[in-house]
Amino acid sequence: MTSGQPSVSPPIPSQRDPLLWVALLGIAAVYVRALAFTPIEARQGAAQKIMYIHATSAFIALYVAFVLMAIASALYLWLKDEKLDRVAESSAEVGLCFTTVVLATGPIWGKTIWGAWWTWDARLTATLFLWFIIVAYLLLRGAVEERGRRARYSAVLGILASFLVPFIHLSVYLFRTLHPMPILLKPSAPSLPNEMLVTFLFSFAAFTLLFLALLRTRYRMATLRDWVADREQERA
Amino acid sequence: MTPDNTSFAYAAYTLAAIIYLAYALSLRIRARRLRERALALEASARPRSDRAEGA
């Protein structure tokens, strides 16, 4: 399915994205605040500060990126609007980047606390599975040329992949696991001292901005790619 | 006693920065290639008289 008559001039986005620069500045500030001005946890040492990037990246990947991917995919199957397919695709790819950070920083934290880089416990394994499914989702998109079919297949896979999100969240309650319980997303009050909580929330805001900036850039790229594909198809 | 594992924290922060910057860079490179293709398509689709005026 195509988006109807493509516009004559290409939808070329600006090369300078102020939102991306604001996000990068915010993250630089998070690095300074977390590493230099946030107290060191007494039992875990400085390695506990990995939480400010690991947990925020996990939160945004699971509860923002992959939930957005699932919602946009479901809406695409209903409305057949290509914009929704592009949102799902962009959210999946940016979410994959965030999940890669989660899977890269988690073992470094785990080595200092558990004495092992990796353990096959429910949360870690399910997160790794989700990472592989999102890679498969993006490979599938690259493999199917017909746009309507590609959007339909990947929407179904995207919705199925998102079923892992509640499982990953609940895995620490359902299974015996080395991974700690949630410290923020739980019914009772956050179990963090105020200074650490402020750093965490600041980090969450900065990484959310980064997610939005990357999502917007990726979405615009997908729009331009489809415009180019339409034009090239017209010529063929 | 608080363990000294500062190097692990720095390693994780460095790795995260590398991954995010590499992804942002890959988006920029892919967008630039697409932009060049789009501009080439637009230029070749324009009538000759327009191209002469626009040059």
CA nearest B19 in A: which residue? A101
CB A39 within 8 A of CB A196: yes
Sign (positive or negative) of CA dihedral A128, A133, A139, A142: negative
| DSSP 3-state of B10 | helix
| DSSP 3-state of A164 | helix
Q: What ipTM goes with this model?
A: 0.91
Nearest CA among A44, A41, A50, A37 for reference residue B3: A44
Cβ of A104 under 8 Å from any chain B Cβ?
A: yes
CA separation, residue A189 to residues A58, A193, A234 (Å): 20, 11, 59
How many CB atoms are located within 10 Å of the residue A71 CB?
Answer: 17
Instruction: Please name the residues between 10 and 49 in chain B that touch chain A, using a CB distance below 8 Å.
Output: 10-13, 15-17, 19-20, 23-24, 27, 30-31, 34-35, 37-39, 41-42, 45
- Which site among B18, B25, B34, B39 would you substitute to test the A interface, given the most A Cβ atoms closer than 10 Å to its Cβ? B34
CB B50 within 8 A of CB A72: no
**Residue A61 CA neighbour count, 13 Å, CB half:** 26
pLDDT in tens, chain A (236 residues): 444 444 567 787 777 789 999 999 999 999 999 999 999 988 899 999 999 999 999 999 999 999 999 999 999 999 999 999 999 999 999 999 999 999 999 999 999 999 999 999 899 999 999 999 999 999 999 999 899 999 999 999 999 999 999 999 999 888 888 787 777 766 677 778 889 999 999 999 999 999 999 999 999 999 999 999 998 888 87
Per residue in A103-117, is it b (16+ CB within 10 Å) or e — as a string? bbbbebbbbbbeeee
Nearest CA among A35, A30, A57 for reference residue A48: A35
Residue A12 burial (CB < 10 Å; 0-12/13-18/19+)?
Answer: middle
How many CB atoms are located within 10 Å of the residue A100 CB?
Answer: 21
Contacting residues of B for A49, CB less than 8 Å apart: 9, 13
The torsion angle over the Cα atoms of residues B28, B31, B37 and B43, rounded to 10 degrees, is -100
Residues 6+ apart with CB under 8 A from A137: A92, A154, A157, A158, A161
Cβ of A57 under 8 Å from any chain B Cβ?
A: yes
Q: What is the nearest CA distance from B35 to chain A, expressed in angstroms? A: 6
What pLDDT score does B52 carry?
54
Length of chain B: 55
CB A157 within 8 A of CB A150: no
Report the residue from B13, B24, B34 with minimal CB separation from A53.
Answer: B13
Helices (H) and strands (E) in chain B, counts: 2, 0
Are A27 and B41 an interchain contact pair (Cβ–Cβ within 8 Å)?
no
Report the residue from A44, A94, A105 with minimal CB separation from B15.
Answer: A105
